[in-house]
Amino acid sequence: MIKIDKLQKKYKGFELNISMEVREGTVTGLIGKNGAGKSTTIKSILGLVRPDNGSIEVLGSEPGKELASIGVALSDSGFSMMLNIKDVIRIMRASYADFEEDVFARHCKEQNLPFDKPVREFSSGMKAKLRVLAAISHKAKLLVMDEPTTGLDVLARNEVLDLLRAYMEEDSSRSILISSHISSDLEGLCDDIYMIDRGQIVMHEDTDTLLSQYGILKMSEKEFEELDKQYVTVSRKDRLSVTCLTKEKQYYIENYPNMVVENSSIDDIIVLTLGGNER
């Protein structure tokens, strides 16, 4: 679906340099701090940013060539504030041969989006829902979504994530690339996750691996000095203790029975990977 090979994009004070892939039939997450390169990556995929070097292939073509087959929801864009949903339906009908008007209208009603009010009167959550509903309403083969649940409360987020799951279940050949700072969204939706920091991919793992094999180790500095660190990814030293991230949680459970070994969430992995000290 998406293949990125040694993509480079330079700005003043920032350089993106990544390789990654979104496979057919998978949901891939892209996580990182603000300014890490997530939006530049997504805009490069859509042909909105021209890379300096490297290659991008989207649905077998160059970026921007297969837009009718891509559903897009970007956090910093949307429909004109003057339009209402009836206007959006007319635009979508004219723009996409496969626009499913009845499905779109039904989803809007289910999400309590008013048909006659202009978008400027929508809450931020309602605008986010409208972007997602438009993206999934024209039988797209690929969804590219930048922070699609921003502005939504927990209930509304779950409703949107259910829509994305249903979209994938309808056709096993579809794929989604989604960036989000809400780790629970990624844990329950993504098959694999890329972590980006300062324009570089610093981690790529299947979500199941992150949640089942990774773990948090807690110990004193003395215990840390004596620790077999071959499976420690990063460590963080506080005033009185050391916290480590490991990819082989079971190894430390079996070999250090008195050590505190905890399950790790994606938030834990983000904090330690992007904020810890390399071992």
First to last CA, the chain: 36
> Highest-confidence range of 13-22, 74-83, 121-130, by mean pLDDT?
13-22
Distance, CA of 190 to CA of 68 (rounded, Å): 24
Instruction: Single out the residue in 208, 230, 262 at which a domain terminates.
Output: 208
pLDDT tens column, 72-97: 998 777 888 999 999 999 999 999 99
Q: Do 159 and 226 lie in a common domain? A: no
Does 88 share its domain with 33?
yes
Q: Using the 3D structure, point to which of 186, 208, 230 is the last residue of a domain.
A: 208
Q: Which domain holds residue 232?
A: 214-278
If you compute the radius of gyration of the chain from its CA atoms, what whole number of angstroms results?
A: 21
Residue 146 sits at the vertex; the CA angle it makes with 15 and 195, to the nearest 5 degrees, is 50
Kindly report the pTM of this predicted structure. Answer: 0.90
Task: Give yes or no: residues 198 and 268 share one domain.
Answer: no
Give the residue from 147, 181, 208 where a domain finishes.
208
- Asked if 233 and 172 sit in the same domain, the reply is no
User: Residue range 113-130: average pLDDT?
Assistant: 91
User: Counting every residue, how long is the chain?
Assistant: 279
Number of independent structural domains in the chain: 2
159 and 175 part of one domain: yes
Taking only the tens place, the pLDDT of each residue in 213-259 is: 999 999 999 999 999 999 999 999 988 899 999 999 999 999 999 99
